[in-house]
Structure formats: structure tokens, C-alpha cells
Amino acid sequence: MTIAVTENIRSLHDVETKLGLSRSLDPDFFKEWQGEFAELVDTEKNTLDRIKQSYLYHVNEGFLSEGTVNLLMVSPLLFLAGFLESPFSLRSEESVEISDSFQDAYRRGGNVTYHGRIDALVLNNNLWIVLVEAKRSSFSFLVAVPQALAYMMASPNGDKPTYAMVTNGDHFMFVKLQRSQYDLSDDFSLFKRSGNELYPVLQILKSFKDL
């Protein structure tokens, strides 16, 4: 039986019970988003400031569609991070299928395959570097986190980690999956009064590129 990820994987509880994943309790498991990053240059900061201002201008007019969030936020960030250049390849709306855990299949009385589409996928020789899951601005990005984890399970990376960035435009979060364990970064919000949270978001993306 094949069912949609968006309809059946809607919480971290679903990820853990249906897909057999567990959140790591090791504080060092996901250190990649907490490193000492190189300072952004002024041109990068100015561009990120303009991206933030543009997004806030448009979202002030009302809720934005998923496609608009991708245009305003995701595409510029991937460009600035260097993921749109050699040796990386970018794919959008990539179709994936994931089989559920043995325990869940046994309980259901048969095997279940989850089907979905990844908003943006950055690869290097078939190694998944970054998976991006974007949602419309009215959508809680916390619902997108378990869906991103489900898609990450389709990665051919083997024992190597797979990373994801999840956003609804207002908020950003990073996800790491390795084998059957995952962990999450802090929430980066465009509505923080001080500073521009897109600065650390770009720094983290650039660090993923260099791993």
C-alpha cells in the first residue's frame, strides 16, 4: 500500500513510531550548526538584509504561497551558499518513496510505502548534501520537520549524515539524520528584534557545503 507522506507523517511521534527513528540525546550529535563560522562579508550581509526586508514587505500583504517562499527565501540562500555552482546539482520536486518500519508494517498487517516530493535537493555525486522543505507562510514549519525527516530516509548516503533546512519563510530550522537518529537546531526567526537571523542561516548552509 502506498500513502502520502503529507497525510500520514505529521508529527515527530509519527516519525518515531512509523519510521523507526529516534532523537539523539548526544549533545555532540549535531554540532555542525553550532560551530565557529567564518564572518560574512559586507556584500553578503547587505544582500541578506535586502532579502529580509523584501520578505517582510510581501508577507505584510498576507500569507505567501509555498512557491513564493521558495522564490523570496530559499533560492537566494542556496545561491549565496554556493549550492547552485559546480560540483553541486539542484533538483526540485524530486519524487521519493520510503518503506515504513517492520513494527509498523506488522501492526498494519502489511507493508506500507510512503510517497512524497522534495521541494529542493542539492546533490554532489548522488550524495545528498541539503534537502530543503518549504511551506507557505501560514503553515507551521514544525509540521514540515517530520515530513523532511521522512524524505531524508530515502537518501542513498548510507552511514553518512543527511542535512535538511526547513522553512515557512518566517522561521528556519536545520535537521540532521544519520542512520536511525536525528536532531534539530534552534529556531531562527525573521521576527527577532535584534539582528538578522538570516546571517547564521547562511553561515550554517555554507558550512554544510564544506563538510
Cβ partners under 8 Å of residue 179, min gap 6: 159
CATH code for the part of the protein at 29-93+118-210? 3.90.1570
Region 69-73: mean pLDDT is 90
C-alpha cell at 157: 548516503
Domain locations along the chain:
29-93+118-210
Per residue in 78-106, pLDDT (tens digit) is 999 999 999 999 988 888 888 765 445 43
Entry pTM: 0.89
Least Cα distance to 30 among 128, 155, 161, 134 occurs for 161
Do the beta carbons of residue 123 and residue 129 sit within 8 Å? yes
